[in-house]
């Protein structure tokens, strides 16, 4: 069981059943090293195909078989090292292994870089003829269609090889941020009303913000952000470097902008991004109303940033991990018994989840894995309703991967970031709806559940679109040749958040400085134009969940087909087939309507007080 968040236990403390199943990948680190060395020796063999891809359909098929098998093995080796490091940033050996894995990825990309430019020299008519004659090649039809769609932005073999060799260095930019924020950054402890002093870590920070002691919340929020302010110049320089990397790669591949480059990869129209931001700005009054209701419910004259997560319910539910698994499994029965059973088995038998907070564990939560492994989850479960929601969210990702890997060949065994956040938020929507019915007579639980919902909407439908505005503005400034300093980033972030709070938040100079560092607390910004997809994801999720919650079995079947499609279809097309068109603002508008209903319900329930 977990220790208190203020005193996170050592990595060896939790029982094995609550740790991720590392041995299902490699017996031990020596076995990993053996596989790593084997792959390093095998990668040069890919060069034997250089200049031969156009020989025959048999040679092309041989390449696919050989190269994809190597890539799959590289994925597993890389994931294992990454997961070890993320679960314990203080593990120096794991950090070294992760660095080695980055080198391995770069070497593979460099070794395989000649393939797509060479494949594009074959006339499309010839490839179509090969597919008609060689049945085993037909599985690559969508891959080839997508390749030729991207053809104008694929460079020569020499350029692609150079980019591949540079990826290790480019990926290190994100690692620098992770090492600084998760391993090196130390925060001044928080202090509560009773004089208690509590250590602030990446794994307990969110728990502290949910504490009823306002003084504890204040000191935790201020000192946590002060830790980032102390390193503002390094953090800003590193993020600017990541954005320059995005711009560099977009220009190498002859895109008009880094935004167009990011969206082009998954064939997403630019209007999807622009429409999200416009619709978000138009609906900010819904958020303004929520902040006013939250302030009144907390009986405060003025809301402060550390009150955003303050508990309103007089009694917060305590939910043990196994109870959370049970609730989520029951909620997911709307998608069929097999879906529900897979969740229960993964959480309680196959050890998909690294459950509890431990020293050195990175902040946040994620689901990750590799084709041929379990879909693993890293989180820091603290028995709260918010943790139930986080587990449901990550299990959405995991089941997306599980069904994709079960259904699709390796070539389509991944899915774009654009659809990833659909599955996660969908699971939260179903779990929330299930608990609203199960606990309909428990007012305190209902309030706590709405608080959880609003916390989730705050992250995905307030913070993420705000970060998307920030990301676009900073990218465009750099693309225009303008210098960007830490203070520039802080000022822009503070302005955007102040607009979102609509006058309900106290904003003196120290608060603006601290809240302006919000961008530095989101490592998501190191993934080029990723954050907007949280907002589109939650929108699509609620649009797809509505008919299923109403009992539409056909909608459930369409949704399962969507989860099983991997990258065999373009993401916007896959969502259309599932039942939602993200090229229009309809889903975003409907989700704001859902948000407004939660705000109304919270106002109704808190009138009791």
Structure tokens at 71: 């890539």
562-588 burial string, b = 16+ CB within 10 Å, else e?
bbbbbbbbbbbebbeebbbebeebebb
Q: Is 351 exposed, middle or buried (0-12, 13-18, 19+ CB in 10 A)?
A: buried
**Which residue would you say has higher pLDDT here, 508 or 364?**
508
- The fraction of the chain above a pLDDT of 70, given in percent, is 99
Percent of the chain with pLDDT strictly greater than 90 = 87
For 51, half-sphere exposure in the C-beta direction (CA atoms, 13 angstrom radius) is 2
Instruction: Express each pLDDT in 90-113 by its tens digit.
Output: 899 999 999 999 999 989 999 999
Residue 364 pLDDT class (50, 70, 90 cuts): confident
- Domain 5-172 in CATH 1.20.140.70? The answer is yes
| Contact criterion met (CB below 8 Å) for 579 and 587 | no
- Which residues, in sequence order, are CB contacts of 550 under 8 Å at separation 6+? none
DSSP label at residue 484: -
Mean pLDDT within 404-411? 98
Gap between the Cα atoms of 394 and 369, Å rounded = 12
Res 190: pLDDT = 96
Q: What is the pLDDT of residues 256-303, one digit of tens each?
A: 999 999 999 999 999 999 999 999 999 999 999 999 999 999 999 999
CA distance 571 to 419: 6
pLDDT number for residue 608? 42
Map tokens 């997508």 to a residue: 146
User: What are the strands, taking DSSP E only, across 146-275?
Assistant: 190-191, 197-198
The CA-atom distances, in angstroms, between 354 and each of 178, 321, 508 are 19, 11, 40
Q: Is residue 186 packed enough to be buried (19+ CB in 10 Å), middle (13-18) or exposed (0-12)?
A: exposed
Give the mean pLDDT of 426-443: 95
Average pLDDT over residues 189-212: 89
SS3 string, 125-168, reads HHHHHHHHHCHHHHHHHHHHHHHHHCHHHCCCHHHHHHHHHHHH
Q: Three-state SS for 353?
A: strand
Q: How many CB atoms lie within 10 A of CB 513?
A: 17
- In the structure, what pLDDT confidence band is assigned to residue 89 with cuts at 50, 70 and 90? confident
**Structure confidence at residue 6 (pLDDT):** 43
In whole angstroms, what is the distance from residue 591 CA to residue 301 CA?
Answer: 30
H or E stretch including 417? helix 417-438
Among the listed residues 185, 20, 10, 1, the one whose alpha carbon sits nearest the alpha carbon of residue 88: 10
| 479: Cβ contacts below 8 Å, ≥ 6 apart | 247, 257, 258
Q: What is the mean pLDDT of residues 341-363?
A: 94
> 85 is written with which tokens?
């490091």
The pair of three-digit structure tokens given for residue 106, joined into one six-digit string: 């770069």
Contacts of 546 (CB under 8 A, 6+ apart): 590
Mean pLDDT of 168-185: 89
**pLDDT above 90 (res 577):** yes
Q: What's the pLDDT band for 210 if we cut at 50, 70, 90?
A: confident
pLDDT digits (tens, 9 = 90+) for 451-495: 999 999 999 999 999 999 999 999 999 999 999 999 999 999 999
Neighbours of 150 (CB within 10 A): 15
What's phi and psi for 377, nearest 5 deg?
-130, 135
* Distance of alpha carbon 103 from alpha carbon 212, whole angstroms: 46
Pairing, β 190-191 against β 376-378 = unpaired
Mean pLDDT across 577-600: 96
**CA–CA dist 258, 242 (Å, integer):** 12
Q: What is the pLDDT of residue 7?
A: 59
pLDDT higher than threshold 50 for residue 383: yes
Q: Give the chain's mean pLDDT.
A: 94
Gap between the Cα atoms of 143 and 505, Å rounded: 49
Q: Is 215 assigned a catalytic role?
A: no
Question: Residue 308: which residues within 8 A CB-CB, separation 6 or more?
Answer: 209, 294, 458
Q: Which two tokens stand for residue 118?
A: 């060479």
- Three-state SS for 35? helix
Angle in degrees, CA 87, 405, 580, rounded to 5: 100
Instruction: Please count the residues of the chain.
Output: 609
Does the pTM surpass 0.85? The reply is yes
- 566 near 404, Cβ under 8 Å? yes
Rounded distance, CA 319 to CA 574, Å? 36
Counting Cα atoms < 13 Å in the Cβ hemisphere of 299 gives 8
pLDDT, position 567: 97
- Per-residue pLDDT, averaged over 580-601, amounts to 95
Pairing of β 353-354 and β 366-368:
unpaired
Query: What's the confidence (pLDDT) of residue 2?
Result: 33
Q: Which class for 295: exposed (0-12), middle (13-18), buried (19 or more C-beta within 10 A)?
A: middle
Which of 86, 394, 451, 504 is catalytic? The answer is 394
Burial class of residue 554, CB neighbours in 10 A (0-12, 13-18, 19+): exposed
């Amino acid at each position: 069981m977990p220790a208190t968040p203020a005193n996170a236990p050592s990595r060896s403390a939790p029982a094995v059943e609550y740790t991720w199943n590392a041995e299902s990948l490699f017996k031990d680190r020596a076995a990993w090293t053996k596989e790593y060395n084997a792959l390093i020796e095998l990668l040069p063999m890919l060069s034997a195909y250089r200049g031969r891809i156009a020989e025959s359909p048999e040679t092309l098929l041989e390449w696919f078989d050989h190269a994809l098998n190597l890539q799959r093995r590289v994925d597993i080796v890389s994931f294992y090292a990454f997961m070890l490091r993320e679960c314990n940033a203080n593990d120096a050996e794991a950090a070294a292994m992760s660095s080695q894995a980055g080198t391995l990825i770069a070497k593979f990309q460099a070794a395989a870089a000649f393939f797509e430019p060479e494949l594009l020299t074959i006339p499309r008519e010839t490839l179509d003829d090969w597919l008609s004659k060689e049945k085993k090649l037909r599985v690559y039809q969508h891959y080839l269609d997508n390749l030729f769609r991207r053809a104008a932005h694929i460079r020569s073999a020499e350029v692609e090889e150079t980019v591949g060799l540079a990826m290790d260095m480019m990926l290190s930019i994100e690692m620098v941020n992770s090492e600084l924020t998760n391993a090196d950054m130390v925060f001044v402890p928080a202090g509560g009303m009773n004089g208690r002093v509590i250590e602030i870590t990446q794994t307990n920070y969110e728990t502290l913000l949910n504490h009823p002691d306002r003084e504890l919340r204040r000191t935790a929020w201020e000192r946590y952000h002060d830790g980032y302010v102390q390193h503002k110049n390094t953090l800003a320089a590193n993020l600017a470097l990541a954005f320059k990397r995005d711009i560099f790669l977009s220009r190498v591949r002859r895109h008009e902008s880094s935004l167009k480059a990011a969206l082009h990869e998954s064939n997403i129209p630019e209007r999807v991004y622009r429409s999200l931001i416009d619709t978000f700005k138009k609906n900010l009054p819904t958020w303004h109303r929520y902040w006013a209701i939250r302030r009144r419910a907390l009986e405060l004259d003025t809301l402060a940033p550390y009150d955003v997560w303050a508990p309103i319910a007089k009694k917060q539910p305590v939910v043990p991990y196994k109870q959370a698994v049970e609730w989520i499994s029951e909620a997911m029965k709307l998608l069929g018994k097999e879906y529900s059973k897979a969740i229960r088995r993964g959480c309680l038998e196959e050890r998909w989840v690294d459950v509890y907070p431990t020293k050195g564990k990175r902040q946040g939560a994620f689901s990750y894995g590799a084709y041929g492994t379990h879909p693993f989850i890293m989180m820091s479960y603290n028995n709260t309703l918010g943790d139930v929601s986080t587990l449901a969210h990550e299990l959405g990702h995991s089941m997306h991967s599980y069904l994709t890997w079960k259904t699709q060949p390796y070539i389509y065994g991944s899915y774009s970031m654009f659809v990833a956040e659909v599955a996660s938020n969908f699971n939260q929507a179903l779990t929330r709806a299930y608990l609203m019915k199960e606990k309909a007579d428990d007012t305190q639980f209902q309030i706590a559940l709405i608080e959880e919902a609003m916390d989730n909407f705050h992250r995905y439908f307030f913070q993420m679109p705000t970060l998307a505005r920030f990301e676009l503005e900073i990218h465009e400034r750099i693309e225009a040749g303008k210098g960007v300093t830490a203070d520039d980033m802080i000022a822009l972030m503070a302005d955007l958040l102040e607009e979102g709070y609509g006058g309900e938040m106290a904003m003196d100079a120290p608060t603006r400085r601290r809240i302006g560092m919000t961008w530095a607390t989101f490592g998501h910004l190191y993934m080029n134009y990723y954050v907007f997809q949280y907002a589109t994801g939650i929108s699509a999720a609620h649009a797809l969940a509505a008919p299923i919650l109403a009992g539409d079995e056909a909608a459930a079947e369409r949704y399962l087909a969507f989860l099983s499609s991997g990258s065999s279809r373009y993401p916007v097309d896959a969502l259309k087939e599932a039942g939602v068109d993200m090229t229009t603002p309809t889903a975003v508008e409907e989700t704001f309507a859902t948000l407004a209903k939660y705000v109304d319900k919270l106002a109704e329930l808190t009138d009791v007080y």
